[in-house]
Amino acid sequence: MAELRFDDRVAVVTGGGGGLGRAYARLLASRGAKVVVNDLDVKDDDGRTPAGALVEEITEAGGTAVAHNGSIGEAGAGESVVATALDAFGRVDVLVNNAGMVRDRSFAKMSDEELSDVLAVHYFGSYALTKAAWPHLRAQEYGRIVFTTSVAGLYGNLGQANYSSAKAALVGLGRTLAVEGARSGIKVNLISPGAATAMTAAMLPERLHEKMSPDRVAPMVGYLCHESCETTGEIFHAVAGTFARTFIAQTQGYENADATIEDIAANLGQIMDLSEWSIPGQAVELPE
């Protein structure tokens, strides 16, 4: 197969200064994309921000990139990132909503602030960036959008009610935008990644750090960002070089228009039976 390239495409990667976002931005830039790297406005000892440091690296390698310094969870950040892309490159084609943070706490002890901080970055940051780019993608009848969910959002995880809620909300947003963007050539998918990053490395055994490199997730995201990708509305698992489809299914179930509480109790096994199932095509599927 010929190399899949992104020449003349403009990609935005949030949280792109480190971890998974850095791997995505480097891969896209190496394949010819012009990249807007967004990350926090914090400086290292040399006075460089995370995004600025990566932009230097990409530029030195012969690529093209600009930095946007600031949390995507801040008010107006979505519009500002898109404006940066338009000012620098005149268009925007690809969005990788990657930025994240954790404020882990048991539900009983979780504060409202710990919920709102996580939602601001994961959900509202992704929403605001996509909302700002959406008119431009529709006008050019082309776009590729990747949202980031997680196993915590899909299956639940101890001490992460805030994080899980945000990641589950992105599934609903992404799948709805896949439906709404279809007529405008906008493909929207979700990635559920697993990697050793600054946010997760402390929770993983050191022996897995190399195996779970962000670079082993990046190819899946790169494909979802490419113009040849016609898939939309899907969730993909990517960890340690393993790539899989995650899907929402429905069992054949039990049918009784006059069912009582007792009928449900008596037939719960049939309702739960996984021997026959289907994948609903959309939210509203009326009975025959």
Residues marked active site are found at 163
Question: How far apart (Å, rounded) are the C-alpha atoms in residues 66 and 89?
Answer: 10
Parallel, antiparallel or unpaired: strands 143-148 and 64-69: unpaired
Task: Give the list of residues 6+ apart from residue 221 with CB closer than 8 angstroms, or none.
Answer: 24, 27, 96, 146, 191, 193, 238
What is the 3-state secondary structure of 240-252? CCEEEEECCCEEC
What is the number of other CB atoms lying within 10 angstroms of the CB of residue 277?
12
Task: Give the list of residues 6+ apart from residue 93 with CB closer than 8 angstroms, or none.
Answer: 9, 10, 11, 137, 140, 142, 143, 144
Per DSSP, which regions of 137-224 are E strands?
A: 143-148, 186-194
Task: Give the list of residues 6+ apart from residue 162 with CB closer than 8 angstroms, or none.
Answer: 103, 105, 110, 114, 115, 117, 118, 119
Strands of 64-69's sheet in order across:
64-69, 34-39, 10-13, 94-97, 143-148, 186-194, 235-239, 242-246
Q: How far is CA 282 from CA 81, 149, 152, 170, 187, in A?
A: 32, 19, 23, 16, 16
